[in-house]
A and B are shown apart, each in its own frame.
Chain A
Amino acid sequence: GAVVSQHPSWVICKSGTSVKIECRSLDFQATTMFWYRQFPKQSLMLMATSNEGSKATYEQGVEKDKFLINHASLTLSTLTVTSAHPEDSSFYICSAPGTGDTQETQYFGPGTRLLVL
């Protein structure tokens, strides 16, 4: 149980284009999901908290107009990187807290590698 998927697993795009990354909870519902960014050989940095049916909460220093988050259903959150630039190249990982007696645990997706040329 508590499986989180991401799509795509990797994407290469040209500078200036927009890229959408999907995060799905496959066997449980998630009213909250989290989006992280990880640079090579570094830890995960929380970008934003995605809330089903309401606006996302962004961490300080994260541009909300550049990283659009939509949490349209209890099993799907999307992160859209708008007008991507090479400095946006990174590994993006989503997570969702479990339910019931696992609600204190976050379950992570496999990540999406973004390369902006």
Chain B
Amino acid sequence: AQSVTQLGSHVSVSEGALVLLRCNYSSSVPPYLFWYVQYPNQGLQLLLKYTSAATLVKGINGFEAEFKKSETSFHLTKPSAHMSDAAEYFCAVSEPGYSTLTFGKGTMLLVSP
């Protein structure tokens, strides 16, 4: 069975500050890992994904994440937050060969001027 833990239901940063959203996973097999962003009343948009290639993954909107097997983590970072980054972020895991995703509970990112 797989599971995802996102530490912190809410993270607040100032505009221009570093964004760090934490994600830890549990999986019995080497996982595929994803970060999605959801704006209010919208579906999910893929930010980036890890599928067993490079451990440092770059995504859209300046976000990146690093897969650390020893820490079973896949934290999402962005060097400088922008007001438009305010949204809900979901970390998800799947098994290679299977499309079904297991989601974390989400982290709401709040960006203040």
Contacts and interface: CB of A to CB of B under 8 A. Distances in A.
A binds B: yes
Contacts of A68: none
Interface of B: 32, 34, 36, 41-46, 49, 51, 90, 94, 96, 99-101, 103-106
Contacts of A110: 42-43
Given A42-B106, A43-B106, A104-B99, 17 more contacts: A34-B101, A43-B90, A43-B103, A43-B104, A44-B44, A49-B100, A93-B43, A104-B51, A105-B34, A105-B49, A106-B34, A106-B99, A108-B43, A108-B45, A111-B42, A111-B43, A113-B41
A32 B97 CA distance: 13
Contact of B49 (A43, A97, A104): A104
B105 A43 contact: yes
B41 A42 contact: no
A105 B101 CA distance: 9
Nearest to B90: A43
A107 interface: yes
Contacts of A91: 41
A1 to B, nearest CB: 12
A113 B32 CA distance: 29
Interface residues of A, number: 23
B44 to A, nearest CB: 4
Nearest to B36: A108
A49 B105 CA distance: 21
Nearest to A110: B43
Nearest to A6: B43
Nearest to B46: A105
Contact of B43 (A32, A34, A109): A109
B105 A42 contact: yes
Nearest to B4: A43
A97 B99 contact: yes
A46 B49 contact: no
A17 interface: no
Given A105-B49, A109-B43, A44 B90 contact: yes
A18 interface: no
26 contacts: A4-B43, A34-B100, A42-B106, A43-B90, A43-B106, A44-B44, A44-B90, A49-B100, A91-B41, A93-B43, A93-B44, A95-B44, A103-B99, A104-B32, A105-B34, A105-B46, A105-B49, A106-B34, A106-B101, A107-B46, A108-B43, A108-B44, A108-B45, A109-B43, A110-B42, A111-B41
